[in-house]
Amino acid sequence: MYLPNRKRILFVPFAKLTFIYLIFLTPLLGQFPSKPITVIVPFAAGGGSDVFVRIFQNAIRQNNLCPQPIVIKNIAGAGGTIGSRTARNADPDGHTILCLHDGIYTAEHYGNADWGPADFEPIAATGRSGVVIAVGENSPYTSLDELMQDARDRPYQLVFGTNLGAPNHYSALFLQAGKPNSKFRFTQTGGGAKRLAQLKGGHIDLTGFSVAEYQQFKDTGIEALASLGEERESSFPNLLTAREQDIHATHDLMQFWWAPLNTPHEQISYLQNLLTRAMATQEIQEKFKTLHMDPVIQVGQDLLKTIEDRSKRLQGIVVEKPTTLPPLEWIILGITAICFIFVLKETKSA
Amino acid sequence: MIDLFSTTSILGLVLLGTTLGITVGAIPGLTGTMLIALSLPLTFSMEPVSGLVLLVAMYVGAVSGGLISATLLRMPGTPAAIMTTLDGFPMATSGQPGRALGLGVGASLVGGLVSWFALWQLAEPMAELSTKLGPFELFSMVILALAMLAGIGDSTRARGLLAGSLGVLVAMPGMHPASGELRWTFGLTFMNEGFRLIPVLIGMFAIGKILQDVTSKDGKIEEVSGNDSAWVALPVWLSNLFNLVRSSLIGTFIGILPGIGANIGSLAAYMAAKRGSKQPEKFGKGSEEGIIASEAANNATVGGALIPLISLGIPGSVIGAVLLGALIVHGLQPGPLLFRQNPEAVHAIIGTVLVANVMMFIIMVGCAKWIAKLSSIPKKILFPLVTGCCIWGAYALNGMWFDVLVMLLFGIIGWQMEKARLPLAAFVIGFVLAPIAEENLCAGLMASGGSYLPLLSRPISLCLIISAVMLIIWKRKQKESSTDPPQS
C-alpha cells in the first residue's frame, strides 16, 4: 500500500498495535464474527431478493472473505414486513442482519409497518436497479409526456397495475407528483410476471418494471415509455428519462443492508468491509451484469445521504385509497353463521 | 434433446431428482417447494443444464410422491394430493392398497405425458391465450370451483357449505390480498401474513388424523391391509380413457394460470369426473375414477406451469418462480427469446418433464410392494415420526414457531371437524380459493372503478358465471329427483 511518508510514520505503529491486539486480546474479548452471520431475507426463497443475497453468500464463500459462513433465512410474507420486524427485534450483536430494498420506506409510508429505516443501523447500499414505465404495444401513447397529459385531462381513467404499498406503487405516485393534477386509477396486480400478463392481455393500461424485468419481457409485446433514473439506463441508452420528457419524477431501487438498532460500531464496520470486498469480486461484478444492476456500493456519509433523500422524496406523497371494496370478511362471517344455524338444526332433528 | 438424455450423468440427475422429490412429496409436512428452494444454491456450481434437469425432476417427483401418504395414511404429502385422500384411502382400507397406488401412479404418468406434449408443441399459443384472462375471468373461474364444492365428500350440503365457509373465514386474517392493508391481525406482526397454507394443511390432515386415531376409545382405527398388486390392467385404463384425457387437459390448463396451483387443478378435474361419472355415488368411497382424475390432473399441472415460464418468462406456480430464479442465476434470460438464445436449456426442461415422469412411474410401480408396507409400520413408531416431520416442516418454512403453533391448532380443529362430520377437503379448498377470489374480484373492481358489470359483460366471465349457476340448479334438481332423500 502506498502511503505518504508522514502518514506512514503514524500508520505503521498503529498497524502493529492493531496486530498485537488482534493476536492477543481478541480471543479474550470474543472476536466478531464468533458464529454464522444470518441474513434475513424477508421474501420467499427463489425470488429476486433471495437470489440477490445468495449471490453475495456465494461470492463470500468462494473467496474466503469471512471466517464464518453466511446463512440465509427467508422470512417471507406481508410485503417484507414480517421479516423486517424479526430483524428489528434480533440481538444487536451483528450476527443477524437484514437485506431489504426500498420496500422498507414504502411499507412505513403506506402504513403497513410502524417501523422504518430509522429503526435500524444502516450498513450499506449495494446494487441499483433502474425502473421503467411500460405500456402494451397497442397502446395509443408513444411518449410518457403524452400519457401524463392524458392522465391530467382525464383523471382516474388510466389503469396502473401495481403491488399496492410496494416500491412499484410509489413509482406511479412519484409520476403523479411530477405532473400536477394527473391521476391514475390503481389496481392490484402483484409481482412483475403478473403485471406483464395483465399488460399483454389489455387488462391494465400501464405499469412499472425494473430494468431487469423489462429486459426479460420486452419482446413479448410491451414497450417502455421512460426510465425513472436521474440519467438514462446504460442497458437502454435510447430510452428517454421522465425528466427529459418534462415529468419531474425520479425513482430507482437499491438493496439496503440493515442491522438492528444499537449494533456496535465495530460490527457494522466489519460488515461494511465484508460487503465492500464482496462487491469487488469478479463473481459479483459478473452476476450484477446479468441482473442489469449497477454495481454501486455506498457506506458512511454517502449512504446516510441516500437514505435521507429517499425519506425526503416520500414527504408530501399522498396515498389515495382505491375504490371502496366490498367488506367480504363480514359477508363471509354472516354466511358462516347462517350455515352454522342450518347444521345445528340438522343435528338436532337427526 | 435425445442426445442430452443419452448421457448417464444427466439420467443420474433425473433419477436423483425424481427419487428425492417422491420421498419429500410422500412425507407429510415436507413439500417440493422446500426441497427445490434448498437445492437451488447447490445448483449454482453446476452446469446450467444439469441444474435445471435436477430441479425439474424434483418438481415432477414431489407432485407425484404426495399420493403415497394420501392413499396409505389419508395424509396428503403435498397440497396437490388432497383430492386423492378422498378415494385413495377408502380403497386402500378396503383391502386394495396396491390397486389404489397403481391407479394413482398410472394416472400421474398419463397426466405428466399429456402436459409434456402440450409443453412441447403448444407452449406459445396456450401462453398467449392465458393472458386473455383478466381478474374478472379468474374470479368467475373460482366461483365455478366453489359451486362445485357443495357436493364434496359424503356429507350433507349444509355441512359442506359450513366447512367451506369456515375455510374462507380462516383465510381472512392478514394482509388484504388486493388493497395490501392489514385485517384482523389484532396488532400482531406474525399475523400479518395470516395463516399459511402448509401449516394449516398438514395440521388439518396429518395432526388431525393422528389425534383422531390416538383418541379413538373403541380402538376402531381404519387399517390399511392387503397385499394386492399395483399393476392395473389395460382394460381399466381404456374404460377410463376419457376421464384421463379430460383430467390431464384440465390440469395442464390450470397449471398455466399464475397463482393457481396443482391443488386446484386436481379439485377441478375431480369435480368434473364426478359430474361426468355414471357412478357419482361412489366418489368419496374409493372410486377409481376419483383417484385417476385427481392424480392425472396434479401431474399435468407441472407441464402446464412450465408453459408460460419458457414461452413468456412468467412462472405458473411457486416452484416455477424458483426455477425462474435458477435461470437468472445461471445467466440465462427467461422470456420469449430463451428458445432462440438458449435452446439447450429449453430442451432440457421439456425433456426432463418426459423422462422424469417415466422414471417416476418405473420407480413407484417397482417399489409399490415396499411402499405399501409403510402402512404396516406400527402406529407407535409412525405417528411420532410423522409428527416430528410436520413440526420440522412447519418451522423450516419460515423459521417461525408461530407456524408450528398454527399447525397444532389446526390439528385440533381438523380432529373436531371430523368428529362433527364436517368435510376437511371443503374447508381446505375454501381456504385456498378465498384469497384468489378476493384478490381478483377486488383487482377487477379497482380497475373498473367499482363496477361489477364486467363480470357479465365480458364473454368468458359470463360463460363461467352461467356454468356456475347452472351447476347449482342442476345439483338441486338432481337432489330432488333422487330417490335417496337428503339426510336431514
- Among chain A residues, the shortest Cα distance to B439 is held by A188
Question: Could you list the residue range(s) of the whole structural domain that residue B326 is in?
Answer: 4-481
Query: How far, in Å, CA of B188 to CA of B196, rounded?
Result: 15
* Rounded CA Rg of chain A: 24
- What does the domain layout of chain A look like in residue ranges? 35-128+254-314, 129-252
Query: How far, in Å, CA of B166 to CA of B162, rounded?
Result: 6
| C-alpha distances out from residue B110 to B96, B117, B347, B368, Å | 21, 11, 20, 18
Q: Which residues pair with A40 in a beta bridge?
A: A73, A98
Q: Is residue B424 part of a domain?
A: yes
Chain B residues within 8 A of A69 when measuring between CB atoms: none
Rounded average pLDDT over B464-483: 74
Percent of chain B with pLDDT over 70: 91
**What is the pLDDT, as a whole number, of residue B485?**
44
Q: Is residue B208 part of a domain?
A: yes
**What is the pLDDT, as a whole number, of residue B486?**
41
Query: How far, in Å, CA of A95 to CA of A36, rounded?
Result: 7
Q: For residue B34, what is its C-alpha cell?
A: 422446500
At B232, the pLDDT band (50, 70, 90 cuts) reads confident
Determine whether domain A129-252 maps to CATH 3.40.190.10. Answer: yes
CA distance B314 to chain A (A): 5
**Per CATH, which fold does A35-128+254-314 belong to?**
D-Maltodextrin-Binding Protein; domain 2 (3.40.190)
Q: Which residues pair with A207 in a beta bridge?
A: A134, A161
Mutate to test the interface with B, among A185, A346, A349 (most CBs of B within 10 A): A346
Do A35-128+254-314 and A129-252 have matching folds?
A: yes
Across the interface, of A187, A215, A349, the residue whose CB is closest to B443 is A187
CB contact under 8 A, B37 and A74: yes
Lowest average pLDDT, out of A98-112, B11-25, B177-191, goes to B177-191
| C-alpha distances out from residue B123 to B157, B204, B340, Å | 40, 37, 14
Predicted confidence (pLDDT) per residue in B323-337, tens digit = 877 787 777 767 666
Q: Where is mean pLDDT largest: B24-28, B184-188, B237-241?
A: B237-241
**What is the pLDDT, as a whole number, of residue A19?**
58
Rounded average pLDDT over B292-312: 89
Say if residues A241 and A230 touch (Cβ distance below 8 Å): yes
Q: For residue B465, what is its C-alpha cell?
A: 358465471
Rounded average pLDDT over B95-119: 94
Q: Is residue B487 part of a domain?
A: no
Rounded average pLDDT over B461-480: 80
At B319, the pLDDT band (50, 70, 90 cuts) reads confident
Chain A residues within 8 A of B396 when measuring between CB atoms: none
- ipTM tops 0.90: no
Virtual torsion, Cα B305, B310, B314, B315, nearest 10 deg: 40
| Count of pairs with CB atoms under 8 A, one residue in A, one in B | 209
Q: Is residue B488 part of a domain?
A: no
What parts of chain A have a pLDDT lower than 70? 1-30, 46-47, 322
Rounded average pLDDT over B276-285: 88
Mutate to test the interface with B, among A325, A335, A344 (most CBs of B within 10 A): A325
Concatenate the DSSP letters of all residues of B441-482 into one string. Answer: HHHHHHHHTS--THHHHSHHHHHHHHHHHHHHHHHHHHHHHS
Predicted confidence (pLDDT) per residue in B357-416, tens digit = 999 999 999 888 888 787 778 888 888 988 998 898 888 777 788 999 999 999 999 999
**What is the pLDDT, as a whole number, of residue A3?**
47
Residue B234 has pLDDT above 70, yes or no: yes
Coil, strand or helix: which one is A129? Answer: strand
Number of domains in chain B: 1
Predicted confidence (pLDDT) per residue in A320-332, tens digit = 876 788 899 999 9
